[in-house]
C-alpha cells in the first residue's frame, strides 16, 4: 500500500470523529491529521491534531507544506438548521472551503472526499425512492451550497482530473458523537431522551418520513467509495445512498419495544418546514451497481445497538 498522508477537516464532528478512528485503524495514527476549530477529546486526541480555520486558504496551504497530504476528507460545514440562522455565512464557509480544497487537490494531485446531502433535494423532487438524477431544487442555504459543491466537484474532475468522490448522506444516527445543527437530529436526540428521561418532545411531526442511516453503515460506505477503483466511480457529482426511511412514530415504537414506558410528544418548529422539502426515501441503485454498496443496519438492528451502547455510555458518564 502506498504511504498515505490524510487530512480530515471538521474532525471533531459527528462523522469526522468516527471516520478519523477508522482511517487511523487502517493507515496508522500518525498518517491521519485531524483538524477542527476545537481540540479533539478522548481517543481522537491520540494522533496529530491541527487547529484549522477552513475559511483560510493560507491555513490549508501551510498544512499542506507541512504534511504533503495525499487524501483530504473535507467534512467541515454548517448543516441545514444552523445554516438557516446565517445563510450568507453558511454559503461562504461551505463553498469557500470546498474551493480551497479542490484547488489544493488540483495543484498537488490529492484525492478528495466531500460529503453532499439529501438537502440538495427540494419539494419539486419526487419524494419517494428519489432517483439519482432528478429535479434538484434545494430550499436551504446548506442545500444550495451542497448542490453547488457537487457541480464544482464534477467540474474539477472533468476539467483537471481531480479524483473527488462524494455521497449524499441521509440523516446520520450515532451514539458516539452527537449531531449538531441538522434537521434530522431528532433521530439521535430521541434515543438519548428515551434512556435519560423516558420522554421526548419531538421537533418534527409524527408522520414526517426522512431518509436516515446508522453511522457504521455511513462510515463503511465512505471508505468503500474511497477505496473503489477509479473506473467504478462513474458519478463525480455525489452518490445517492438510501439507508432507512422512517418517521418519528416508527422509531418511537421501536424504542418502546425495549423501553415500554417511553412517551413522545410532538411540537414541530422551523425544522419541520425544512424536512417537508426533503425526500421520504432514496433510490441508491447506482451506488449498488457502481461500487457494490449494500446496507447492513435496518431500524430494529440499529435501535438495539443504539440503546445498548448509549446505556453503557450514559452510565459511565454519571458514575
Ligand atoms: N443531517 C443533515 C441535516 O439535517 C442532512 O444532511 O442538516
Tell me the per-residue pLDDT of 189-231, one tens digit each, with 9 for 90 and over: 999 999 999 999 999 999 999 999 999 999 999 999 999 999 9
**Closest by Cα among 278, 286, 277 to 240:** 286
What is the maximum alpha-carbon separation in the chain? 58
Q: Which atom of ligand 1 is nearest to the CA of 278?
A: 5
Asked whether residue 34 falls in the same domain as residue 79, the answer is: yes
**Residues 107 and 202 occupy one common structural domain:** no
pLDDT band, very low/low/confident/very high, at 179 (cuts 50, 70, 90):
confident
Range of 225's domain? Answer: 6-170+215-240
Extended beta strands in the chain, E state: 6-9, 32-36, 49-51, 71-74, 111-113, 116-117, 164-165, 167-169, 171-173, 199-202, 210-214, 239-240, 244-246, 263-266
* Any ligand 1 atom below 6 A from CB of 75: no
pLDDT attached to residue 173: 98
- Which is nearest to 137 in space by CA: 157, 113, 119, 121? 121
Q: Whose CA is nearest to atom 3 of ligand 1?
A: 182
Atom of ligand 1 minimally distant from the CA of 169? 6
Say yes or no: CB of residue 116 within 6 Å of ligand 1: no
From 73, 142, 191, 214, active-site residue:
142
Which cell numbers hold the place of 181? Answer: 445543527
Is the model's pLDDT at 2 over the cut of 90? no
Residue 30 alpha carbon to ligand 1 centre in Å: 31
Q: Which CATH number do you get for residue 36? A: 3.40.50.720
Pairwise CA distance, residues 241 & 218, whole Å: 9
Neighbours of 314 (CB within 10 A): 14
Q: Give the pLDDT of residue 180.
A: 85
User: Ligand 1: which of 13, 76, 80 to mutate, judged by most atoms within 8 Å of the beta carbon?
Assistant: 80
Residues 30 and 161 grouped into a single domain = yes
CB of 182 closer than 6 A to ligand 1? Answer: yes
**Structural domain ending residue among the three candidates 198, 223, 240:** 240
283: three-class secondary structure by DSSP: coil
For residue range 61-88, what is the model confidence (pLDDT) as tens digits? 999 999 999 999 999 999 999 999 999 9
* Atom number, ligand 1, closest to the C-alpha of residue 172: 1
Closest ligand 1 atom to residue 168 Cα is: 6
Q: Which of 79, 173, 178, 215 to mutate for ligand 1's pocket (most ligand atoms within 8 Å of CB)?
A: 79
3-class DSSP state for residue 9?
A: strand
By the 10 Å C-beta count (0-12 exposed, 13-18 middle, 19+ buried), 296 is classed as exposed
Claim to verify: residue 199 and residue 233 sit in the same structural domain: no
Q: How far apart, in whole angstroms, are the C-alpha atoms of residue 114 and residue 162? A: 12
Specify whether 150 is located in the same domain as 207: no
Query: Is position 306 within any domain?
Result: yes
The C-alpha atoms of residue 165 and residue 209 are separated, in whole angstroms, by: 27
Active site residue 27: no
Domains identified in the chain, total number: 2
Per-residue DSSP letter, 232: G
Residue 121 CB less than 6 A away from ligand 1: no
For residues 235 and 90, state if they share a domain.
yes
Q: Quick one: 204 and 277 in the same domain?
A: yes
Give the β-pairing of 167-169 and 239-240. parallel
Residue 1, pLDDT above cutoff 60? no
- Our mutation pick for probing the ligand 1 site, out of 171, 187, 243, counting the most ligand atoms within 8 A of Cβ, is 171
Amino acid at each position: 500500500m502506498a504511504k498515505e498522508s490524510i487530512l480530515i477537516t471538521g474532525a471533531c464532528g459527528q462523522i469526522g470523529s468516527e471516520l478519523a478512528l477508522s482511517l487511523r485503524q487502517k493507515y496508522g495514527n500518525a498518517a491521519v491529521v485531524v483538524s477542527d476549530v476545537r481540540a479533539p477529546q478522548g481517543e481522537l486526541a491520540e494522533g496529530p491534531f491541527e487547529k484549522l480555520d477552513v475559511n483560510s486558504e493560507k491555513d490549508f496551504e501551510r498544512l499542506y507544506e507541512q504534511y504533503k497530504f495525499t487524501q483530504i476528507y473535507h467534512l467541515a460545514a454548517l448543516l441545514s438548521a444552523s445554516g438557516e440562522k446565517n445563510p450568507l455565512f453558511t454559503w461562504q464557509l461551505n463553498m469557500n472551503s470546498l474551493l480551497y480544497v479542490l484547488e489544493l487537490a488540483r495543484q498537488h494531485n490529492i484525492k478528495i472526499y466531500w460529503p453532499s446531502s439529501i438537502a440538495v433535494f427540494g419539494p419539486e423532487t419526487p419524494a419517494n425512492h428519489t432517483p439519482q438524477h432528478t429535479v434538484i431544487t434545494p430550499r436551504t442555504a446548506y442545500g444550495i451550497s451542497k448542490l453547488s459543491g457537487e457541480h464544482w466537484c464534477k467540474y474539477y474532475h472533468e476539467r483537471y482530473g481531480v479524483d473527488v468522490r462524494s455521497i449524499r448522506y441521509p440523516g446520520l444516527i450515532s451514539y458516539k458523537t452527537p449531531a449538531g445543527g441538522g434537521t434530522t437530529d431528532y433521530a439521535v436526540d430521541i434515543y438519548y431522551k428515551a434512556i435519560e428521561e423516558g420522554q421526548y418532545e419531538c421537533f418534527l411531526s409524527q408522520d414526517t418520513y426522512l431518509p436516515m442511516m446508522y453511522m457504521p453503515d455511513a462510515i463503511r460506505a465512505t471508505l468503500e467509495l474511497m477505496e473503489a477503483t477509479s473506473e467504478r466511480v462513474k458519478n463525480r457529482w455525489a452518490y445517492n445512498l438510501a439507508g432507512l426511511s422512517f418517521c418519528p412514530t416508527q422509531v418511537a415504537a421501536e424504542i418502546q419495544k425495549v423501553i415500554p414506558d417511553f412517551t413522545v410528544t410532538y411540537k414541530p418548529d422551523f425544522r419541520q418546514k425544512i424536512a417537508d422539502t426533503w425526500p421520504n426515501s432514496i433510490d441508491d441503485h447506482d451506488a449498488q451497481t457502481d461500487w457494490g454498496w449494500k446496507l447492513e443496519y435496518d431500524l430494529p438492528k440499529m435501535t438495539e445497538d443504539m440503546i445498548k451502547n448509549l446505556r453503557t455510555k450514559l452510565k459511565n458518564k454519571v458514575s
